[in-house]
């Protein structure tokens, strides 16, 4: 497998694969919770964010699995996908990277199980036969994928650009994204800024359209301005209704993590970022799972909107 990590794992045994994949995720989260005030935990967290930035449309569970198996992965696809879509072939002897793939099939309208599970359940729904049921998500199964570094053939597809401090049109795109995200954005001239040392805030509703209001202090460094916008968008989208000051402090880590993932994806220099997880001390693992899920979902939402904005700029 293409990896240099001493702590990498593999899921070679078919009979135990699902259990081991689940336990690997749980153990990583347990270790993170146990060491939130330790530098190593912050480093582990940042390594996961790096992977999340490369696989923004993957769930946190899958990016954790990729991180543990092949942290240097940049683009993964199935064996046949590499062959049929990219004319590349998996090198002999390479080990698969296992992730969770959705199972989409006919689904009982009542118990939401597949026909086979429905038969063995206590559900007595029989208004329509299984062949007339709509398809839906009924679960997940282990699926093998391979990183581009494990393949050879035609030149690989373009990957992410190198980090840069050139924000390009990113600030404009982020500002325009407010309409689609349901957030009002105001870039305030530095001489009119009334919020002290804060680079940005999201503390109230807009009086014009009664939706979350993001205000950021204007500055010459547009890359820094873009990161602040992303940070405040994260608050607007998922933190705005949090009244507990303690919880708001904990979600600062989430917002900064979203800014890191989206900024890195957009090619901004993230080398100065640092994460202090001590705010999550004494957290229940289930709460940390929610935080990881919220980070990955928010980053994906922002990146999807930015990609849409970018396409409109190019058209």
The series of mean pLDDT values per 10 residues for the chain, 315 residues long, is 56 93 95 90 94 95 96 95 95 96 90 85 87 86 96 78 63 93 95 95 83 94 92 89 79 93 90 84 92 96 89 56
Q: Decide: 193 and 126 in contact? Cβ < 8 Å.
A: no
Q: What is the pLDDT of residue 117?
A: 83
Greatest alpha-carbon pair distance for the chain in Å reads: 69
Q: What is the pLDDT of residue 239?
A: 77
Q: Where is the domain boundary, 153, 181, 213?
A: 153
Establish if 4 belongs to a structural domain.
no
Q: Which residues contact 158 (CB under 8 A, 6 or more apart)?
A: none
Q: What is the pLDDT of residue 6?
A: 46
Establish if 29 belongs to a structural domain.
no
Secondary structure class of 224 (helix, strand, coil): helix
In eight-state DSSP terms, residue 164 is: B
Q: What is the pLDDT of residue 2?
A: 43
Count of structural domains within the chain: 2
- Check whether residue 182 and residue 285 sit in a common domain: yes
Q: What is the pLDDT of residue 1?
A: 41
Q: What is the pLDDT of residue 282?
A: 85
Establish if 31 belongs to a structural domain.
no
Establish if 62 belongs to a structural domain.
no
Establish if 72 belongs to a structural domain.
no
Q: What is the pLDDT of residue 3?
A: 40
Q: What is the pLDDT of residue 166?
A: 67
- Check whether residue 241 and residue 121 sit in a common domain: no
Pairwise CA distance, residues 152 & 145, whole Å: 15
In eight-state DSSP terms, residue 97 is: E
Beta-sheet strands, E only, within 110-209: 135-147, 151-153, 184-188, 200-205
Q: Which domain holds residue 208?
A: 170-314
- Check whether residue 97 and residue 147 sit in a common domain: yes
**Of the candidates 257, 266, 301, the residue with the CA atom closest to the CA atom of residue 48:** 257
Q: What is the pLDDT of residue 62?
A: 97
Backbone angles phi, psi at 171, to 5 degrees: -60, -45
Establish if 69 belongs to a structural domain.
no
């Amino acid at each position: 497998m293409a990896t240099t990590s001493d702590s990498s794992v593999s899921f070679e045994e078919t009979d135990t694969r699902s259990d081991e994949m689940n336990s690997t995720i749980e153990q990583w989260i347990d270790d993170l919770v146990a060491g939130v005030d330790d530098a190593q935990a912050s480093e582990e967290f940042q390594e996961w964010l790096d992977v999340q930035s490369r696989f923004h449309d993957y769930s946190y569970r899958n990016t954790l699995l990729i991180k543990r198996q092949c942290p240097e992965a940049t683009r993964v696809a199935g064996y046949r996908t590499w062959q049929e879509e990219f004319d590349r072939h998996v090198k002999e002897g390479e080990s698969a990277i296992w992730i969770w793939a959705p199972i989409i099939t006919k689904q009982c309208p009542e118990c939401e199980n597949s026909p086979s599970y429905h038969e063995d359940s206590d559900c007595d729904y029989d208004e329509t036969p299984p062949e007339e049921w709509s398809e839906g998500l009924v679960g997940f199964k282990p699926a093998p994928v391979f990183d581009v570094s494990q393949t050879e053939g035609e030149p690989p597809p373009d990957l992410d650009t190198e980090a840069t401090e050139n924000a390009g049109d990113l600030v404009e795109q982020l500002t325009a994204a407010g309409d689609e995200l349901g957030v009002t954005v105001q870039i305030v001239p530095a001489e009119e800024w009334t919020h002290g040392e804060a680079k940005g805030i999201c503390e109230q509703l807009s009086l014009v359209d009664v939706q979350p209001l993001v205000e950021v202090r204007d500055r010459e460094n547009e890359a820094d301005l873009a990161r602040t916008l992303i940070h405040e968008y994260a608050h607007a989208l998922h933190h705005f209704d949090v009244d507990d000051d303690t919880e708001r402090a904990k979600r600062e880590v989430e917002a900064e993590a979203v800014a890191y993932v989206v900024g890195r994806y957009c090619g901004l220099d993230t080398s100065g970022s640092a994460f202090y997880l001590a705010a999550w001390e004494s957290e229940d693992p289930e709460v940390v799972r929610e935080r990881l899920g919220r980070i990955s979902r928010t980053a994906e939402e922002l990146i999807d909107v930015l990609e849409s904005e970018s396409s409109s700029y190019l058209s």
